[in-house]
Structure 1
Amino acid sequence: MANKATGRHRADVEINVLESFELRSRRSIRESERARLSRLARKEAKKLAKLQAAERAANPERAQAVSAGRYLVRAQRKIKFYQRRGFRNSVNMAVASGLFATFALPAYAYSPEDAAMSRFSTTDAQAVASAADTQNLTVAAVNTVKYARGSYESANANEIARQETLNAYRTYSGPTAADYVLNPPYSKLDGATILKVAASYVGTPYVFGGETPRGFDCSGYVAFVFAQFGIALPHSVHGQNRMGILIKPEDAVPGDLVIMDDLGHDGIYAGNGNFYHAPRPGDYVKLAPIYTSRIHFVRLGTN
């Protein structure tokens, strides 16, 4: 009786079968790879043959020499001197130096052609300026003017107007308050005449410290008006406040002084709660309502 196979023997048989299958698989993979490489090699050989055939057709002399065992040596390409890098660099440096020297020429360096056309006998600026027949002018010296960059600010319209007002004020040459006090055009001090004179200066620009018809401040305006009646007033609100007598508001009449309680401003009372005054910088002499209740009235003379 044949021996019955054990489990171990069956396992050995199964292992041997797997190993042989793996070996066959590896062998088929190697054979496939060799076949693929062989196909690629044949394709490359065909391409190379085509390229060689095309080269022989394009250059038959070289192909004949190679087939005869001779080799052609390609001659080196001769580079012209003006195409060499060193020559190009030298030319570039020379051109750059010439441009720099041209831009650096001073403004008074005349060219010989310009000098000949202008009938100059020399191109030296000093000699040209001092020549006797140069525009029939005698030039004492030629100075080099140096300009320095400075800081500045843009001027607006108000600043320009203020400068024009100051320039006009400084050029005033008419009669002053002192002149009117010595020779007053009006002999009688009455309210109607005072208001007439005060109204004649409406529109005069405000100028700090101004005391002429080209520009008034508040006390300068009051002093100039009353100077035409022969009354000399100091150019200050404090001084004008001490010149007259204090009156009640209900007794005030046109021609009295309107003075702020803090002595910071004054004007000429026009009646009905209005007064003539020179308000502030940038404004003009005007007739306007009294804008505060903190005021008092002062009367000058017998108006």
Structure 2
Amino acid sequence: MAELNGKTDGAITRREAREAFQARSEAGAMKRRQSAQEPAVPASVASVAKPKRKLKRFANLFVLVAAAGIVGTIAIPAYAFNPSSQGHADSSSAVIDTMKKANAQSADVATTAAAPAAAHEDFQATSVTDIQSAKQAAANAAAAKAAAATAAKYTAAYSGPTAAQYLTQVPAGTSYSLADVLATAKKYAGTPYVYGGSTPAGFDCSGFVMFVYAQFGVSLPHSSSQQGHIGQTVSLADAQPGDVIALNDGSHDGFYAGTDASGNVLIFDAPKPGGSVGERPIWTSAYHIQHYGG
């Protein structure tokens, strides 16, 4: 007969059999739970795991040693350059002065040594003003050349005496008076304006004044600016028709022709390109009146 816990079947009671069965069942269940929670590790893996744990401990030890070395290396300069540390050189000002004197260098320079020669490039730059002045001069020269060509064309069409010829021989019976001067000027009404013109073929402002006054023996330059500074400056109250009105900036002149019914001052002149000799109110107050004696 089989035995259970050292007893024969005939000697085991039902209660003992039930308790033994429960104990065996619980032992088997516990063994199964342990098997599920901790899977068995093959012997080959178990044999490799032990050396790996040893390598890991060795690596940790190496890292600690290396870190200690790095910290020590960084800390050394802080102590090496500390002047107060024992055993380091003294860097006081007295020691530095002594070192300077001991290692001093000097150089002798002869009193007759020549000073270095200084030189500079000899060049000049053209200013913007000079450039503009040159351009303006070129433009004026071109305009004067064109005016001379136009005046020559008109002069060629005129066969009478010129201002220079009138000055050498004043017409017989001519007496100088401002009224006669203005009357002579009005004979040329309608003559076209020609820049540089000084004959009845074409006048500019100063050429017109010069040509008329030449017929009375009065020599004037062919320039409105210069004509405005010759003779005597008179007030408007003392001016007489036949005197010369000159703009203050020297840009224009003509004959004073009195005033109109409205009190406007009149000028008889060769006005501008495209115009012709005639009478009109003066357009500015910036003028003065010149009287030429005779």
Structure (1 or 2) with the larger CA radius of gyration: 2
TM-score by length of 2: 0.45
Tell me the TM-score normalised to structure 1 length.
0.44
